[in-house]
């Protein structure tokens, strides 16, 4: 069984992570914004077969830039890089 000190430390870290991702927005609206930004950024970075002749989806670069801004503000860019590198390693 975990001690009270360990439980308090885990609770504090959990709350810190929630606050960072929620960016002090009311309720979970910040989490929703982060989720949408993460999805757009990952979709934008998704590796594609360059020899495939089908046209690629066109993105609004202002939305992509804003999405990367949100991900960066939440300090998740290193994690995103790991996800991207993991997907490219599996090609």
C-alpha to C-alpha distance for 78 and 31, rounded to whole angstroms: 18
Is the pLDDT at 91 greater than 70? The verdict is: no
Condensed to tens digits (0 to 9), the pLDDT of residues 50-83 reads: 888 888 889 999 999 999 999 999 999 999 999 8
**Model confidence, pTM:** 0.78
> Which two tokens mark 37?
């930004």
Q: Are the C-beta atoms of 38 and 80 separated by less than 8 Å?
A: yes
Give the model's confidence band at 10: pLDDT under 50 very low, under 70 low, under 90 confident, else very high.
very high
């Amino acid at each position: 069984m975990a001690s009270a000190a360990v439980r308090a430390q885990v609770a504090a870290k959990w709350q810190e992570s929630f606050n960072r991702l929620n960016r002090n927005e009311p309720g979970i609206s910040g989490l929703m914004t982060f989720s949408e930004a993460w999805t757009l950024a990952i979709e934008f970075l998704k590796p594609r077969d360059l020899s495939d002749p089908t046209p690629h989806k066109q993105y609004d670069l202002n939305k992509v830039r804003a999405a990367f801004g949100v991900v960066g503000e939440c300090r998740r860019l290193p994690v995103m890089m790991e996800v991207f590198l993991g997907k490219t390693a599996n090609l």
